[in-house]
Structures are given as structure tokens and as C-alpha cells.
Amino acid sequence: MSGIHTLTMPKWGLSMSEGRVNAWLKGLGDPITRGEEIVEVESEKIAGALEAPASGVLRRRLAAEEDLLPVGALLGIIADADVADTEIDAVVAEFLANYVPPSEEEEGGGSVPGKIEVGGLRIRYLKLGAGGEPLILVHGFGGDLNNWLFNHATLAVKREVYALDLPGHGESTKDVADGSLDNLTDVVIGCMDALGIPAAHLIGHSMGGAVCLNVAKRSPQRVHSLVLIASAGLGAEINGDYITGFVAATNRRALKPLLSELFSDPGQVTRQLIDDMLKYKRLDGVAESLDRLAGKLFANGSQQMILAEVPEVFGKPVLVIWGKEDRIIPARHAPKAGGKVRVEILEGQGHMVQMEAANDVNRLMESFLG
Amino acid sequence: MARKITYQQAINEALDQEMSRDPSVIVMGEDNAGGEGSPGEMDAWGGVLGVTKGLYHKHPGRVLDTPISESAFIGAAIGAACNGLRPVAELMFVDFMGVCFDQIFNQAAKFRYMFGGKAETPVVIRTMYGAGFRAAAQHSQCLYSLFTHVPGLKVVVPSNPYDAKGLLIESIRDNDPVIFFENKVLYTMEGEVPEEIYTVPFGEAAILREGDDVTIVALGRMVNMAQEAAEALQKDGIHCEIIDPRTTSPLDEETILESVEKTGRLVVVDEANPRCSMASDIAGLVVRKAFGALKAPIEQVTAPHVPPPFSDVLEDLYVPNAAKIERAVTRVAEYR
Amino acid sequence: MNTELNRESLLKAYRMMRTIREFEERVHTDFATGEIPGFVHLYAGEEASATGVCMHLSGNDYIASTHRGHGHCIAKGVDPAGMMAEIWGKETGTCKGKGGSMHIADLSKGMLGANGIVGGGGPLICGTALAAKLRGDKTVGVCFFGDGASNQGTILEAMNLATVWNLPAIFVAENNGYAETTSPNYSVACENIADRAAAFGMPGVIVDGFDFFAVYEAAGEAVKRAREGGGPTLIEVKVSRYYGHFEGDQQKYRAEGEVQKLRNEKDCLMQFRRHVTADGDISAAELDAIDAEVLAMIDDSVVRAKADPKPGPEELLTDVYVSY
């Protein structure tokens, strides 16, 4: 039965417990090539296409369009054309007999965020994986550790991976002191101290990239390598209207067009994404924190901290990833990384490239980290 | 996975956090602690269903139990709000509004206007409403439309724990009189609620589900029933958009109208009686302002024009449910 | 003391109190099984109050009651079997299952309703008394209310109006020591509720609510005065309840052993039995026989209530108006 492959509801991100089958892209009996998109699935957070795990023929379509199914539920069967129907039916029957939908406890199981005290602040972090060289994920302006929802678990297969909420963000204390990059940098280094991490690979997105650059500048001995995604700190330009608008936005109507700037596919700006962002923005202290950060780091629509020289001085491996259609920080900042830096520009992608093109970005990061 | 607590715990936490943050916030009501003057334990109840339990000992002197004198203590809360406090008074069941309504609708509601914009009355009146407890005609009504009718009052009807906490904190910080409606059946509902302090603004509806076929506007407990109905209807290929206004005064007209402009079909779900109700108000709004978009008559799913009955079989018939909503949506969707 | 109470009346009073007690004990037991819906507030412990007052009333007199109304209903002659069916939400109930425990009423018996609104009855009784006065039919109205309601504006306004119009009304404040959880020591500004009578220009008397004869005597005077055009009276009955504010109340606000002590030392039925059997006119066996009859009657009412049908769906939409 080795030629029979099950197609199941994927788990995209830690919080996904169920997904809706939006549309089948392949018909029953269609030939399938491994990696081909087979069925469109949508979770509360994101929509995407499921890639074929193997080549063959789509022999069964067990989920109907519009079905809302738990993670791991059987969607279809791919098998070679010459596999007997009885064999396929046996696999389906066995799967259904053994399948247990994940319980609510299991969903969060083993991946509950923790909190640590750093310089009088409570910092939330999520650790996944164990062993290997530690890796730390640092989100951007207005983001949180969930920005790594589609990357975190993949990276954690080979090593322990920590995602942080910077001060003023997520569930960390809403206090950014003077709003400076050095303050954020202090916190990241403080987290490494508190978590007992002597040195780590750092991956930063947007403003988080600038924080990682600054850590590499100030404490190069604590950084094995850098991955900078749509990073700030490499040039002066930034979409000032986005920053100003995002800081000011207090409702769905104001926020939706702004968040659309972040993605290449405006369909990714789901109701849930907007609601989650509004929930964050309505926490006491967030408005002040964002205002202070924006005033310090992105005053007058221009980046105030340029660290473009850091990668070269740093001298260790650096990977720069950018979506070519990034409307927040232009992709042309990427080559300015210079030195022995590997640069990857993804066609058609926007600022949230690690979410929208998670598979591609994950592959790039994995091959870089080795 | 964020922390989950109940609607009831969310309300308690909102009160606790705002009392800790702002010393001018006080809580008062009948047996909000419980046991005053009695030989047993103090804080014996924490409110008739335990919503304010624990606040009495945490905030000494700031949780006041009252005689059963709603006119006096609701009025006193309003007066205290005129003099620098931010009282949160509990009118145990909204059905008891009859014994104190003057203080609310002639006094608190009108100060700002009558006094030429020179008064601020930052009072919150928390009150329980709704059927489902077999509590009969005088303990089960949904009277938010009566308060919504009165200019000067803000009226809040949260449908879930997250909104309950955020809207209550917003209510406490708001400088106008706010009537905060708590559905007694929802008290045990669990949901994700941040431990941090946050607000949910007035006049901004929540869109709980997006869809192109039929708009459902639902309030309070009915929001959950609408979601249940919408999930079932999706299997039949009918995609509902669910809007929870969250506050009936102010009302987020724009979100409702935008949705109907898209779907052309509207079902309003309201646990209250149908006449002069939020259901008829919202239906009227859409007819006035989105008439051109309508492709079908508007349906209202409400309680009938009768008082809440006692017997369980009658009460179950009285309250709207998912099946009734499904039928109404199907009629509206199939109308040509 | 009880000179005007003949043997027949004494037995009637005993049966009335025992019926109330048995009814309430049975509802208490059945509520705990989860079969009885809604909010139920029990009158057990306070039987002498309703009985001592209602023994003076005829079917043409009116009473208004409270959320704790079962005892008043029974004392005013409402059929216990109909009440039981009502509490169980059945179509055979006094109110067809539409009202429930808090709204049992029987206008044909002069019972204007238990009431879900604290203090709701005071103004209504002014109205029934006004009608009686204008008709000149010598009937009276009695408003039962609690220590909690004594602080409600409606009650205070009603007492004032009753004197202003010299109405044949009696205000019976059943002070059972707890408004939900709150003691009148905290919530009532003066020493006694009866002290307020002076402010409304009516006599105010205080009686021991565990003593049927004390209640009977005070109520007798008040009813007589009202019937004769002498105006209203406020009677404060000091009593206690054996159960919580509602069924399910854990009663942490009460003292340890408080209820047991009352049951052992002050119970109205116990006192009554001791009193009437002491002079040998009524035997313990006679009272035991009444106990057995009442028990059988309550058992029967529960069996019937359980078996009776629930209201049909058509009942939802009827009875809102007299004419449509």
C-alpha cells in the first residue's frame, strides 16, 4: 500500500484547529505531480492551497467544498492509477477507524507561551523544539510572535526556537521606555540572558530586523547568523503613511486598507486578522507605545536608524529575504546588505512574505541554517 | 492559546481592574457583596449570581450593598457621578427598571442636554436580562429598546466574554450614563479574554462571519444562535454575514448598511418583543437608507408580542433559536 | 387570648399552617432533584403570619403577596394542587403554567398574586381597598411585604396614600431577618419597621411571627378597624425563614445552627400544637390525623402535577389581552 497517499487537513500555525475546504483545484482521476496545488483550504487566520505530498492520480475526494473539518481529517487520496480500488477503500476505512480529531487541550499542548521578567518588563515568548543552536524570532512594528505562525514549527524541527513579543507588543508589557532601537535591543539581549541563551541565530522581520542588526552590532559574539526579512535598518525609505495610519487607526474601517498594504494578496486581510489587530490595538498602553516607537524610529516618514554597514562588519552568515512588491519597505534596500550576504527576492510577494509565502521562506531559511 | 474565562468572570475582572486603576470607581447594588448586618459571612453572595464576588474584600469601602430601594440607590449613583465618582450600580434584573426609571431616563439621561452641555454623568448601570432561566414574566425581559429610545443614554449589549470585559471598561471610562445589559444565560459562556486591560469602543459593530448572501444582525445571546444557524446554512450553500451591533446606542449604522448593500437580504434576530424593538429599528434603518439594495423583504426573528412565559415548553417556544433563524434566512435567500 | 377561636377554627388554622409547611418542604425536596424549573422562594417557618392574618379574611377580601408567596396563597384559599401544578409548569396549574411560583394568583379567591417585583403589592392593595371603600362593602385589602420591601418607595408611598384616603388596608411587614442576604440591622434605618407607622399616621404594632395567636390577635384588631372605616394599620411580624432566599442559596450569611435552633425552639406549628393540646380540648391524635391528611393531599398533588400535561404551544400567544 506504499503507493497510497492520504491528503489531510493541514495545521497552518499553532492555533489552527479546523479548516474549511474552499475549492478543489483537481478533479477526481486527474494526474498529480508532487508539490502541485490540489485543494484550497482556509483557516481563521489564513487561506492557502495544499500541495500534493506525492505524485499519482487523485483517486478519492472525501471532503466536499464548504466542509469545515478538524486538523488531520482525511480530504482525499492520491495513488497510482494501477492501485486497486479495494486497496484504497481499505486505507480509507483504516484511516477513518483510527482518526481522532485533536482535542482542545492537545491544540495548545506543549506550546503554551511563557513569560519572563526582563528589566522590570514582562516579556512573552514561545519556545518550540529542543536542542541544536538556539534561534530567536523577532517580529516587526505592530506585530507579535504570531507573525511566525507558519515558520516557527518548521524551524523548530531541528533546534529550539524562541519567538518573542517585543515590549509594547503582543502580551508583553506595554512600555517601550524612550521608544529607541537600543531599548528594544536591550530587551532582546536581556531575554537571551534570562533564557540562558549564550548565542543564537536571529531572525528579524521589518523593525525586528533592525533590532537583530543592532544586537549583531552591539554583541556580535552572541549572534551565530542573521536572517533579515523585509528588514528595517538598511535604508531610509519607509511607507510613512502606513506607519502614521496604523498608529492612528482605531477601527476596522481605518485598519483594513492599511493592513492590505502588508500583503500581496488583499484576500489575506481576513476579518479575523483585522479583529486580532484591533484587539491588540485596544489594550491599554499600546497606542502610547506605538506612538513613541514611531516617533523615535520612523519620524517624518523616514527610518532614523540605518545599520546597513552591520552585516559586513558582523562577518558571519546573513540571509536577506524580501518580497519584491513590498509596499512598506522597498525591496531595493536588500542589495544594500552588501558583503558576504545572500539575498533572496521573492517575485510577487509583499511585506508579510514569511506568512504569505511561508513554504518558500521556510525552505530558504532551512537551507541557510543547514 | 489565549486564556479562556467566562462572561461572568470577564465582567468581574473588568470591575476589579478598573477599581484598581481608578479610585473613583465604586460598585453598588443589592447584595453585591451580601451579608451586611447578618450574622454569617460577609461577601456571602457577590451579587445574586456571584458576578461581583470578591470585590468587597479587595476594594474596602468601595463595594456598597444597598437596601432594596432602586430609586434611591440608582439615583444616588447618578448623583455621585455628578460629583466626581464613577459608580457602577447594579439593577439586578432589568425588569426592576420600573421602580427607578425616573432617575435614569428623566434625570441621568437629560442632564447634559438640559444643562446646556455643562454636566457629565459617568454612571454605569449594569443589569441582567433575557429568558432561559424559567424565571417568568418579571425576570426574563429584554428591555434594551426602551433605554435605546431615550436620548442621552448609551446602551451596551455584549454577546461574548471578550466584548463584555472591553465594553464594561469602556462604559466605566465613558462620561455619559451607560446601561450595560448582561444576558444571564451567557454568564457561563467561555471565551478568550486578555488578562490585560482593554476597551471595546461604542458604536462599532462586530462582524462575526463574512458572507455574500444574507446579512444577519443579531444582539446578545442571539449572536451565538445566529452563528449556529449560519454554519448549518453554509452546508446548503447559503453564506451569511453576521453583524453584532454590540451597542444599540450608539448604533453602527454604517456596518449594517454596508453589509446589506452587499447582500441585499436582511434577517434581524432580537430576543426582545417585536414591536418598537431593535429589530424593527434596524429593519426601519435599512428600509430608509438601503432600500435600493434590498432584494427581499426583511425578516425579523424575535420573541412574539407576549410576556415571557414560565413553563419550559412555552419559554422554549418564546425565545428565538437557530432553527427559526435558519428558516427565516432560507425564506429571505430564496425570495425572488 | 384566643377566646374567639373555637375548636373548629383552631383545627382550621392548624390545617392551614400544616398545609403550607408540607407544601414547602415538598417543593424543597423536589427542587433539589432538578425537576422544578425557575426561581422558587419558600415560606417555611413563616406559616403563622399568613395564617394568623388570613383567618380573619373572607373570599371577598384581597391580599397582595410577594415572591415568597406560596403561604399567602394557601392561607387565602388557593388550591394547593393547582399551585403545585403551576410550580411544575403544567397546564393544570393555577395560572396554566404561564406564571410559575413567583406569579401564582387566583382573583376568584381574592389573591392578587405573588409578585416578582419587591414592593409591587403596596399600591395595588391601596387600589383594592379604594374600590371596597367606594362600594362600601366592608371588605379589606392586606399587603404582605418583606423587610426588604419596607425600604422600597412603592411601599412607603402606598402607606402614605392609605392614610390620606383612609383606606381599609392592612400592611403586614414580614420581617424574616434577611432581604436576600442583607439584614434589616443594616438596611432599615430605624429600630423597627413598625416605627415607620407613626410617620404615615397609622398605628404600628410588632408581633412575634412564630406565635400564631399573637399574629391572629393583632391582625384581628387591624382588620376590624379597617372594616369599620378606621383606616390602615402597619403590623410588623418578626419571624424567620427556614430556607434560603431562593432554593439553591447556600446561606453563608446566616449563623451556624441558626435555623435548627429556631426549628427546635420557636417553630410555629410546634408552639401551636403545645398550646392547643395543653388544655385538653384538642388531642394530639387529632392533629396527627390532620398531618396525615395534609401529607396525603400534598403527595397526591405532586403525583398529579408530575403526570399532568405541559401547556400546548397555542397557549404561548393567548391571554395577553381580554380582547384583540
Q: Is A30 exposed, middle or buried (0-12, 13-18, 19+ CB in 10 A)?
A: middle
Selected residue with higher pLDDT from A5 and B276: B276
pLDDT value at position B160? Answer: 98
Cβ(A143)–Cβ(A117) below 8 Å: no
Tens-digit pLDDT profile for residues B14-71: 999 999 999 999 999 999 999 999 999 999 999 999 999 999 999 999 999 999 999 9
pLDDT higher than 80, residue B7: yes
Cβ contact, residue pair B310, C118, below 8 Å:
no
pLDDT value at position A266? Answer: 87
Sequence ranges of the domains in chain C: 7-317
CA atoms within 13 A on the CB side of C146: 31
Distance CA B316, CA B310 (A): 10
Contacts 24+ apart (CB under 8 A), C221-229: C222/C170, C223/C53, C223/C56, C223/C57, C223/C140, C223/C142, C223/C170, C226/C129, C226/C140, C226/C167, C226/C168, C226/C169, C226/C170, C227/C138, C227/C139, C227/C140, C227/C168, C229/C166, C229/C168
Size of interface A-B (CB pairs under 8 A): 41
Distance CA B169, CA B171 (A): 5
pLDDT higher than 60, residue C1: no
CA-based end-to-end distance of chain B = 45
Q: How far is A284 from chain B (nearest CA, A)?
A: 5
| B206-334 CATH fold | Rossmann fold (3.40.50)
pLDDT higher than 60, residue B190: yes
Tens-digit pLDDT profile for residues C102-132: 999 999 999 999 999 999 999 999 999 999 9
List of domains in chain A: 4-106 (2.40.50.100), 111-369 (3.40.50.1820)
What is the largest distance, in Å, between two alpha-carbon atoms of chain B? 69
Cβ(A96)–Cβ(A124) below 8 Å: no
Distance CA B281, CA B187 (A): 27
- The DSSP element (H or E) to which C132 belongs, if any, is helix C121-135
- The DSSP element (H or E) to which B28 belongs, if any, is strand B25-29
Chain C residue numbers with beta carbons less than 8 Å from the beta carbon of B310 are 37-38, 86, 89, 95, 97-100, 103
pLDDT value at position A110? Answer: 55
Q: How confident is the model at residue A1 (pLDDT cuts 50, 70, 90)?
A: very low
Q: Which residue has the cell 400544637?
A: C273
C-alpha dihedral sign at B231, B236, B241, B243: negative
Tens-digit pLDDT profile for residues C145-157: 999 999 999 999 9
Q: Which amino acid is at C167?
A: L
pLDDT value at position A326? Answer: 97
Cβ contact, residue pair C99, B34, below 8 Å:
no
Across the interface, of A68, A251, A284, the residue whose CB is closest to B196 is A284
Which chains share 3+ C-beta pairs under 8 angstroms with C?
Answer: B
As a CATH number, domain B4-192 is 3.40.50.970
Q: Between 3.30.950.10, 3.40.50.970, 3.10.20.30, 3.40.50.720, what CATH number should domain C7-317 receive?
A: 3.40.50.970
- Secondary structure (3-state) at B206: strand
- Residue B302 C-alpha cell reads as 424575535
Cβ contact, residue pair A284, B231, below 8 Å:
no
Q: Which of residues 32-61 of A touch B (CB under 8 A)?
A: none
pLDDT value at position A141? Answer: 98
Cβ(B233)–Cβ(B266) below 8 Å: no
pLDDT value at position C2? Answer: 46
- Secondary structure (3-state) at C100: coil
Q: How confident is the model at residue A102 (pLDDT cuts 50, 70, 90)?
A: confident
State the Cα angle at A336 between A332 and A341, rounded to 5°: 115
- Average pLDDT value for chain B: 97
Neighbours of A56 (CB within 10 A): 20
pLDDT value at position C32? Answer: 94
Tell me, yes or no, if the two domains B4-192 and B206-334 fold the same way.
yes
Average pLDDT over residues A300-312: 93
| CA distance readout (Å), C47 to A274, C104, C112, C213, C297 | 62, 17, 19, 12, 18
- Average pLDDT value for chain C: 96
Distance CA B37, CA B22 (A): 28
Chain B residue numbers with beta carbons less than 8 Å from the beta carbon of A275 are 206
Cβ contact, residue pair A283, B196, below 8 Å:
yes
Locate the chain B residue with the closest alpha carbon to C176: B38
Distance CA A97, CA C91 (A): 49
Which residues 6+ apart lie within 8 Å of B184 measured at CB?
Answer: B49, B128, B129, B130, B132, B133
- Residue C218 C-alpha cell reads as 393583632
Which residues 6+ apart lie within 8 Å of A124 measured at CB?
Answer: A113, A114, A115, A145, A164, A165, A170, A171, A172
Q: How confident is the model at residue C178 (pLDDT cuts 50, 70, 90)?
A: very high
Q: Which residue has the cell 527576492?
A: A345
| CA distance readout (Å), B335 to A128, B267, B331, C110 | 53, 13, 6, 54
Distance CA B38, CA B45 (A): 12
Q: Which of residues 57-86 of C touch B (CB under 8 A)?
A: 86
pLDDT higher than 80, residue A109: no
Tens-digit pLDDT profile for residues B283-329: 999 999 999 999 999 999 999 999 999 999 999 999 999 999 999 99
Sequence ranges of the domains in chain B: 4-192, 206-334
Question: Beta strand B63-65 with B25-29: parallel, antiparallel or unpaired?
Answer: parallel
Q: How confident is the model at residue B83 (pLDDT cuts 50, 70, 90)?
A: very high
Interface ipTM > 0.85: yes
Tens-digit pLDDT profile for residues A158-190: 999 999 999 999 999 999 999 999 999 999 999
pLDDT value at position A338? Answer: 62
Neighbours of A360 (CB within 10 A): 15
Which residues 6+ apart lie within 8 Å of C196 measured at CB?
Answer: C150, C156, C159, C190, C204, C234
Cβ contact, residue pair C317, B309, below 8 Å:
no
CA-based end-to-end distance of chain C = 54
Q: Is C58 exposed, middle or buried (0-12, 13-18, 19+ CB in 10 A)?
A: exposed
pLDDT higher than 90, residue C273: yes
Cβ(C147)–Cβ(C187) below 8 Å: yes
Which residues 6+ apart lie within 8 Å of B316 measured at CB?
Answer: none
pLDDT higher than 90, residue A54: no
Catalytically annotated residues of B = 139
Cα–Cα nearest to C18, from C321, C257, C270, C211 = C270
Across the interface, of B41, B95, B136, the residue whose CB is closest to C99 is B136
pLDDT value at position C167? Answer: 98
pLDDT higher than 50, residue C254: yes
